[in-house]
A and B are shown apart, each in its own frame.
Chain A
Amino acid sequence: MLFVRCKECGAKLSASRCFEFKLAVNNLPDEELLSYGHRACSGCGAIIAVRLALKASGRDVIVVQPTGCMEVVTTPYPETSWKVPYIHVAFENAGAVASGVWRALKVLGKKTKVLVIGGDGGTVDIGLQALSGALERGENITYICYDNEAYMNTGVQRSGATPFGAVTTTSPAGKLSFGEDRPKKDMPHIVASHNVPYVATASVGYPMDYVEKVKKALSVEGPSYIHVLTPCPTGWGFDSSKSIELGKLAVDTGMWILYEIENGVEKINYIPTKRKPVVEYLKAQRRFRHLSDDIISKIQEEVDRVWERILKST
């Protein structure tokens, strides 16, 4: 694989795009299709992902959302933040609802894009079956999973996307527990194994990379999937001014890997020049603060192991 170096930050990039937020802002359309006035917590990473996704999609789109934070904070009747057509039906069926929307558009001969924006619970847990069906049928939809790594809307309960060691209200640390004791579900690869044309991971800490991926996802024929890490000040326990920083730190410590799987071919998008120790990411959040040095080393070892494999293969 060929790399170029970012002129500003020196990081290795697999594409000519730069990850700097400044550039991202300059390159995005001014038009806001998600209105201000929504009820998201200050510093919410997920609402940034939604707002940027709409900047990537433009107006000719229909948004489908499963139940979750983003649905609740954007649609308090009689108000709505959505300047594009929007439908929310239930928690576990966004894949199916989006299929219905797409098939109807097909019948009507319209080229409008169908964009699902669901949380990790509505995607990797309760919504997995309906999503799997939609992927396997090859529905022409783009699915963005905003991953804040727990059921934040109901009060930070553990989901299948909760990472190893994290404390949630249903995976608390205690005398017999250090919090979540299983690694998070590898959703992007589960999606990729449905033979879909485009799968990518992203982080709101690297917004331009994310936006480019959303654009790419919307442009392919057939199902496409983006799994974007969206730090959650409320659930993770950090100051609301640090969301973007946390999103970057997750990538820079190697705990969150930016990659694409295009037609089955996997490509790492970003290799940190010098990986930061995971402890910097972990200690910045309340949910990991209880972890012993032992557990932290275990996490570091696992991250090192994964990256060794990646670097060897590239």
Chain B
Amino acid sequence: MRDIVEGSRAVAEAVKLCRAKVISAYPITPQTHIVEYLAEFVANGELDAEFVRVESEHSALSVCVGASATGVRTFTATSSQGLALMFEVLFIASGLRLPIVMVNANRALSAPISIWNDQSDSTAVRDCGWIQVYVETNQEALDSVIQAYKVAEKVLLPFMVCMDGFVLTHTYEPVDIPDQRLVDDYLPEYDPPIKLDPENPVTIGPIADPNYYMEFKLVQDEAMNEAKRVLKDEDEKFGEIFGRRYGLIEEYRTDDADVVLVTMGSLAGTIKDVVDRMREKGKNVGLVRVRLYRPFPKDEIVRALKDFEVIGVIEKDNCFGFGGGALFHDVRSALYGKSNAKVIGFVAGLGGRDIPYWDIEKAYEMCYEARVKEVPDVVWIGVRDWFRR
């Protein structure tokens, strides 16, 4: 069914279609609408689930851990400070190999406190062992939640769908809401091989001494790598059923491009417009959107980018004390030894600062400049003194 819905509603519809059984959340802007819709579904009997109104995000994720370990499908959503408060449990959820699905409505971290969008929250937890996908549209948010359960439950790892707060969560877009029957065909009932069950008692969450700890972590790392292949396959299968596929990365008009920008999330939509506009003026620019951020699609990134002279990575987060965002470092690291490209890190849009088309054009112009002269590795754009840097 095609409808014009808010991004948060699209997510809630997906969770309902996936028949999540235990939902637990603590309110934080801009995640709130997602869980409000879900609370409504449960209250109306549209979704047969337990909605656990906890006293913190730490507990929200802990409830999901307990419920998932008992063998049911779980969901939570959060943002920013909430994700930061979950930090401890994020690592435990992945270490315990629980396929919890979370939507993170991307929001800046305090201080100064900001309710507005950037991606500092989820990029800061890139190494917590969760699969991370960054979506561009509300449709992709809905579809990614469905794919997330499928992939998470196959590889037994938790899955975080990251969507830009307000930009997507509070924006209405046309969204195709799939048939329940089709989703049921795609996503079988959750029946984990190991769970808390008196019929077959297991101990979950033991202490592992130095003789064992590393093997746990190695197996977990292998599962992460496996997740990449599984998402690729499941995205294909999803495409066959629902007619939409997203890939691990998306290449937009890169075939004949002189320079290329790389980004994640909804910013890609704006950049695609800028690409079209600049191409009309004879500037052959392109875009690579990283959809799957963890596990990082290294091979795909190298294939897509290695032949460019200059690559600009534009993102809404910063690594303090190193400079540039997390994606910039990851792209440069993936390309090391495979390409001689100059990689520039553009930091933009922190704390909800608008990223207008002219700032993106400036970034592309700087990439052109870098072909003929020295430019800095890291450039902050959209700040009052951005030209000074």
Give the B-binding residues of A (Cβ under 8 A). Answer: 59-62, 64, 71-72, 75-78, 80, 82-90, 92-93, 95-108, 112, 129-130, 132-133, 136-137
Contact = CB atoms under 8 A, between A and B. Distances in A.
Given A77-B209, A84-B198, A89-B92, A99 B66 contact: yes
A97 B63 contact: yes
B52 A99 contact: yes
24 contacts: A62-B70, A75-B206, A82-B203, A88-B204, A89-B62, A89-B92, A96-B54, A96-B62, A98-B66, A99-B52, A99-B54, A100-B65, A100-B66, A100-B69, A100-B74, A101-B69, A103-B50, A103-B52, A103-B66, A103-B67, A104-B21, A107-B48, A130-B56, A130-B58
B62 A107 contact: no
A62 B207 contact: no
A100 B22 contact: yes
Given A99-B52, A104-B71, A90 B88 contact: yes
B205 interface: yes
Nearest to B211: A77
A89 B54 contact: no
A62 B54 contact: no
B204 A86 contact: yes
Contacts of B24: 99-100
Contacts of A106: 50
B372 to A, nearest CB: 54
B1 interface: no
Given A86-B201, A89-B65, A107-B21, A77 B59 contact: no
A76 B66 contact: no
A71 B207 contact: yes
A64 B207 CA distance: 14
B201 A97 contact: no
Nearest to B64: A100
Nearest to B49: A107
B79 interface: no
Contacts of B284: none
A75 B209 CA distance: 11
Contact of B196 (A83, A85, A133, A137): A85
B89 interface: yes
Contacts of A59: 198
Contacts of B60: 96
B218 interface: no
Interface in B53-97: 53-56, 58-60, 62-72, 74, 88-89, 92, 96
B198 A90 contact: no
A77 B66 contact: no
A22 B361 CA distance: 85
A93 B70 contact: no
Contact of A64 (B53, B64, B66): B66
Contacts of A99: 24, 52, 54, 59, 63, 66
Interface residues of B, number: 44
Contacts, number: 150
A136 B52 CA distance: 12
B89 A100 contact: no
Contacts of B179: none
B71 A86 contact: no
Contacts of A78: 212
B206 A77 contact: yes
Interface of B: 21-22, 24, 48-50, 52-56, 58-60, 62-72, 74, 88-89, 92, 96, 196-198, 200-209, 212
Contact of A101 (B58, B59, B67, B209): B67
A278 B206 CA distance: 40
A75 B206 CA distance: 5
A136 B54 CA distance: 10
B89 A77 contact: no
Contact of B66 (A71, A72, A87, A137): A87
Contacts of A76: 206-207, 209
A112 B66 contact: no
A104 B55 contact: no
Nearest to A103: B50
B201 A82 contact: yes
B58 A96 contact: yes
Contacts of B196: 62, 85-87, 101
B51 to A, nearest CB: 9
A121 B31 CA distance: 32
Contacts of A85: 196-198, 200-204
A82 B71 CA distance: 19
A107 B22 contact: yes
The residue among A75, A86, A87 with the most chain B CB atoms within 10 A of its own CB is: A87
B4 to A, nearest CB: 33
A191 B96 CA distance: 30
Nearest to B23: A103
A77 B207 CA distance: 6
A80 B205 CA distance: 11
B103 to A, nearest CB: 18
A98 B65 CA distance: 9
A77 B59 CA distance: 26
A92 to B, nearest CB: 7
B70 A104 contact: yes
Given A61-B198, A62-B196, A75-B206, A93 B59 contact: yes
Contacts of A88: 204-206
